[in-house]
Structure 1
Amino acid sequence: MSAVPYDEKKQAGEEPGYVAVDPHSSDSDVAPEYLITALVQEDHSHDIKLRTMSWQKAAWLLAGDQVCLAIMAQTWSLSVLGWVPGLITMVFAGILFWITSMTMHKFIMKHPQIKDICDFGYYAFGKSRIAYEFTGFMLLANNILLIGFHVLTGAKVLNTLSDHSLCTVVFSVIATLMGIIMSLPRTLNHVSFMSMFSAAAMGIAILLFLVFAGIEDAPLYGYNGDYPTDGKVYTYAFPLPGTTWVGCMNAVLNITFLWVPQILFPTFIAEMERPQDFPKSLAVLTAISAFLFIVPPAIGFRYLGQYSTAPAFGSLGVVSYKKASFAFVIVPTLVIGVIYANVSAKFIYFRIMGKSRHAHSNTVIGWGAWAAVMAGIWAIAFIFSEVVPSMGDFLSLLGAAFDSFFGFIFFAVAYYDMYRKNLFGGVARSIKTVIHAFVMMVGLFLLGPGLYAAVEAIIADYSGGTRPAFSCANLSI
């Protein structure tokens, strides 16, 4: 079916601007701009409208996802790598984030019916059903483990603030129940409202940490002992003697993990009223991220030096300082869990509901299924938070196993798909092709040596004793 604008084919009862396009047509026979319009029109005919976000709200949603506790782990990364390798890794990760995100957006504009990262994998790998199902598995595994990490973080915050007044499992249950309730809104447009408060709360937590780190006499402790066991606080340009390759690689994975949120971006774009405007949202996010991912960690490393921990709040020497700054982390902890849960639930929910009226309507069955799927996701995440001994190590494993695909390999493949007939057509195109070849190599490096380093770290932690499953042990930082 060809796309026909309203002014060329009027139909009775249609509003001006209507486009007579089947929104589920093959992208080969419908111009993308008409298909986007048709997709929005179809969505707006439903009771529950998903494609309603402005680029400003999308920017808030992106910021709510990115302004997170992982920022406070970057100080530790600098303490492992030193100033020179650490800052170089941070800057290069940011540059590659911008390039790969723009490639992702251009590919989605070519295939605007993409609803999530699974659809992206389907089209990038030649409409492969195997790629779709494999990406679906990675999406759920990645997101549910991340939600579990946020359940565990919520328990840590409550432990710290209450001086371990209850069993840690109880605190985890509280965080899980709060997450389920906050996840009930079905549109990301509603979640973006929460993201404003999430980003603001995390910003306050970071600011308080920087103030307290600057005014206190000395840090409390580091991984090599209490202050001043490891000498006076100092910083260094390169890794200290004795630093292992595995340690350096995990510090690099810690940085790349923070800069690879693209697993969520296709879903965000699919819920924008004008997905063409996503680069504006991305520009806002990149500016915020470049500042927060580099400046606060650098200041933290300046004051904590070799005593840096992950998160850096744990190194603060005054308990009241630690509690005052860490308290604000509970908001982004829950909201970011909600964002990942929303994306995961939509993948499962629409596979269950298909094209039935319950998928987009306010029906008892539709809302009941949505609540059940959401509760199931958080319940599984809760189990992971309790049975995995070291979620930090498993996040490194996720960074190597999944972010290698979702941050690098997918977008190198998508670039090749878009420009395979003109990879070296001119200087600019040749440079971009070389850059994306480098992106592919980075992804393969993370998938190979990076995965090895993550597994070695997990083995080392297991050999040193682990936290029992469903333990009441105090997890205060």
Structure 2
Amino acid sequence: MNSLPYREAQEKVNHSSNSSSHEREQDVFEENADHDFHYKTLSWQFVSLLMIAEIVSNGMLSLPSALAVVGIVPALILIIFLGAFGLFTAKLLIDFKLNHPAVHNMGDAGLILGGPIVREILSLGTIIFAICGTGSELLSGQQALSTLSNNGMCSILLLLIFAAATLVVALPRTLDRLSWLGLGSATLITIAGVVGMVGAGLNPTPGRVIAATAQASFYQAFLAITNPVFAYAGHFMFFILISEMREPRDAMKAAWCLQVFATLFYVVFAVIMYIHIGNTVASPAFLSLPPRWAKASFGIALANFLVAGGLYAHTAAKLVFVRLFRHSRHMYSHTILGWSVWITLCIIAVAIAFIFAISVPIFSYLIGIAASLFASWYTYGLAGFFWLHDASVEVGGKSKLLRRPVGFILAVLTILAGAFICVAGTFVSIKLIIDAYARGIVGKPFTC
């Protein structure tokens, strides 16, 4: 869908003269030479690198275990299909953003789709998911540091050290300050994956079991499927990243770069690790490597965990900050109030993630629930609603949407896919928690 026909159609629609409609008509960020902060600075290349830095690390490390449950063939079909599906939904999100330049995050999109209540739900969901993502990266960082130190220091202290470093990464007010870190992060996670594959190839597991297909119950299969499903769960950040692009119309180039790279890398990494380790491969996969290779892989990937965690925390803080100060001088100038609020928001985001990580023994399972409840919609389901909304304006009303049968059917199927992933993923995550307590493998809070 082209943004120009939508704009022309939108001009024919009568809007009520309230503050929200006025807000929709303006770009989220203003550009003025006198501003201290210039937000619209990112190129599509750096946006793609930030996306890769955010998505690839945890996705890559969890995928080999999916092959161990359902087999190579079904898992690869799913990884490739979800990569293509993610590219399709990215196109719908980007078109919606181009049609609505004031949209800065999923909450703003919710205001257009369903009013203030939907806005608050999607805003809160974005913040929750971003904080859970921060916590996930903190745990990955702590795990890497524990591996590197041979568990020589209390894990809480390691987590605190990594949280402090993550806060420093999150603090820059504009994303261009993180763009070069994104380049380094994307490079290092790629190198870490290559080192991990070399380590697995040089140290294959004796007597390993490898299967092209494997029988599994629905629970086991969907549990495995959630790994590739959420390996692409970065769309919730797309609006925020695109809002800071110099040329938002180039966003699709970044999406192509992300999805093609991620899909190819996921396939290669998952297959090589599974073939050489077999059905005992752990998640994260680096834990299945010999100690020397695990240390090398984790050590190289450590910077990626740091940048990804900072980017998640930055996202949570940026959503609230823009909501509070949109089009005010505190957005664009060095003011005491602006900096005080921004630093406080970043600290709160990292602190909540840190507290959850050390005090909630089932936090890793809660991340799965958050992904099921929110990422299923942000990455997949909501894209269908975006198309239906804008297409209804172009064709002259919702009753005329069947004039575009192919787009209509794809949009409805996208919504249904999001709903299925949400319900089934939540069910599997809750059952995981119940099983973990039943087996007595849930740890205690505030322990090393």
Query: Where in structure 2 are the equivalents of 1:310-389 lying within 5 Å?
Result: 310-316=283-289, 318-353=290-325, 355-389=327-361
Q: Could you say if the C-alpha distance between residues 182 and 28 of structure 1 is closer, same or farther in structure 2, counting changes exceeding 3 Å? A: closer
Paired with 2:415 and 2:118, the residues of 1 have a C-alpha distance of 17
CA contact (8 A) 1:60 1:195 kept: yes
Partner residue, 1:137: 124
In 1: Cα distance, 2:122 partner to 2:24 partner: 26
1:103 — aligned with what? 92
Residue type of the alignment partner of 2:248: P
Which of 203, 212, 225 is equivalent to 1:216? 203
Matches within 5 A, 1:288-327: 288-316=261-289, 318-327=290-299
Q: Which residue of 2 aligns with 1:117?
A: 106
Equivalent position of 2:425 in the other structure? 450
* Alpha-carbon offset, residue 28 of structure 1: 11
Could you say if the C-alpha distance between residues 278 and 45 of structure 1 is closer, same or farther in structure 2, counting changes exceeding 3 Å? farther
The superposition leaves residues 317-337 of structure 1 with CA deviations (integer Å, 9 ceiling, x where unpaired) of: x21111111111211111001
Deviations 1:411-470 (A, max 9, x none): 111111122345343xxx433322222211111111222211111011111222211111
CA distance in 1, matches of 2:278, 2:407: 38
Q: Is residue 2:193 matched to residue 1:206?
A: yes
Residue number in structure 1 paired with 2:410 = 435
Structure 1 residues 25, 332: closer, same or farther in 2, change over 3 A?
same
What's the CA shift for 1:187?
0.6
Contact 1:97–1:407 (CA under 8 A) maintained in structure 2: yes
Matched, 1:166 2:149: no
- CA, structure 1 residues 309+390, in 2 after alignment: closer, same or farther (shift >3 Å)? farther
User: Which residue does the alignment assign to 1:261?
Assistant: 234
Aligned-pair distance for 1:354?
A: 5.0
Within 5 Å, which residues of 2 pair with 1:270-285? Answer: 270-285=243-258
TM superposition shift of 1:305: 1.5
**Aligned position for 1:415:** 387
Counterpart residue number, 1:147: 134
> Could you say what secondary structure the match of 1:294 adopts?
helix
Residues 28 and 351 of structure 1, relative CA distance in 2, 3 Å threshold:
closer
| Cα-to-partner distance string for 1:90-130 (whole Å, 9 max, x where unaligned) | 122111101111001111111111111211122133xx000
**What's the counterpart of residue 213 of structure 2?**
238
- Deviation of 1:356 after TM superposition, in Å, equals 3.8
8 Å contact from structure 2 (residues 384, 410) kept in 1: no
Shift of 1:393: 2.4
Measure how far apart 1:159 and its partner are.
Answer: 0.7
Deviation of 1:355 after TM superposition, in Å, equals 4.5
User: Match for residue 188 of structure 1?
Assistant: 175
Amino acid at match of 2:233: V
Who wins on radius of gyration, i.e. which is larger?
A: 1
Greater than 4 Å deviation, 4+ residue runs = 24-30
Q: Which runs of 5+ in 2 are unaligned?
A: 1-18
The residue type paired with residue 197 of structure 2 is L
Could you say what secondary structure the match of 1:431 adopts?
A: helix
Q: Name which of 467, 472, 475 aligns with 2:443.
A: 467
Instruction: Answer yes or no: is the 8 Å Cα contact 1:250–1:396 preserved in 2.
Output: no
Q: For the Cα contact (< 8 Å) 1:358–1:366, is it kept in 2?
A: yes
Give the aligned residue type for 2:408.
T
Give the corresponding residue for 2:13.
none
- Is the Cα contact below 8 Å between 1:254 and 1:396 reproduced in 2? no
User: Taking structure 1 as reference, are residues 97 and 43 closer, same or farther at Cα in structure 2, changes over 3 Å only?
Assistant: farther
Q: Secondary structure at the match of 1:293?
A: helix
Q: Percent identity?
A: 27
**Counterpart residue identity of residue 270, structure 1:** S
Deviation at 1:44, TM superposition (A): 5.1
The alignment's TM-score, normalised by the length of structure 2, stands at: 0.89
SS of the aligned residue for 1:468 comes to coil
Structure 1 distance, partners of 2:101, 2:327, is 18
In structure 1, give the amino acid aligned to 2:445. Answer: A
Corresponding residue for residue 8 of structure 1: none
The aligned runs of 1:397-416 (5 Å cut-off) are 397-416=369-388
Q: Which digits, 9 at most, give the CA deviation of each residue in 1:136-160, with x for residues without a partner?
A: 1111111111111111111111111
Which stretches in structure 1 are left out of the alignment for 5+ residues? 1-23, 219-227, 473-477
Task: Indicate conservation of the 8 Å contact 2:24/2:103, yes or no.
Answer: no
Distance 2:59 2:33 in 1: 37
Q: Report if aligned partners of 1:47, 1:361 keep a CA contact under 8 Å in 2.
A: yes
Go from structure 1 to structure 2 and tell me whether the alpha carbon gap of 1:456 and 1:41 turns closer, same or farther (over 3 Å shift): closer
SS at match of 2:295: helix
1-structure distance, mates of 2:320, 2:23 = 28
Q: Give the aligned length.
A: 423
Cα pair distance change 1:89/1:207, threshold 3 Å: same
Deviations 1:365-423, CA, capped at 9 Å, x for gaps = 32222111111111111011112324442232122111121122211111111223453
**Structure 1 pair 29/459, CA: closer, same or farther in 2 (3 Å)?**
closer
1-side partners of 2:70 and 2:229: how far apart? 14
Matches within 5 A, 1:76-91: 76-91=65-80
CA distance in 2 between counterparts of 1:123 and 1:141 reads 21
Quick one: which of 15, 35, 48 aligns to 1:59?
48
- The more displaced of 325-334 and 58-67 is 58-67
Q: Report the residue type matching 1:266 in the other structure.
A: F
Q: Deviations 1:30-62 (Å, cap 9, x if unpaired)? A: 6xxxx66xx665455521111111222212222
Q: CA distance change for structure 1 residues 29 and 150 in 2, over 3 Å: closer, same or farther?
A: closer
Tell me which of 368, 375, 393 is aligned to 1:396. Answer: 368
Separation of aligned partners in 1, 2:361 and 2:53? 27
Deviations 1:219-273 (A, max 9, x none): xxxxxxxxx6xxx213112224xx3322211111111111121100000011111
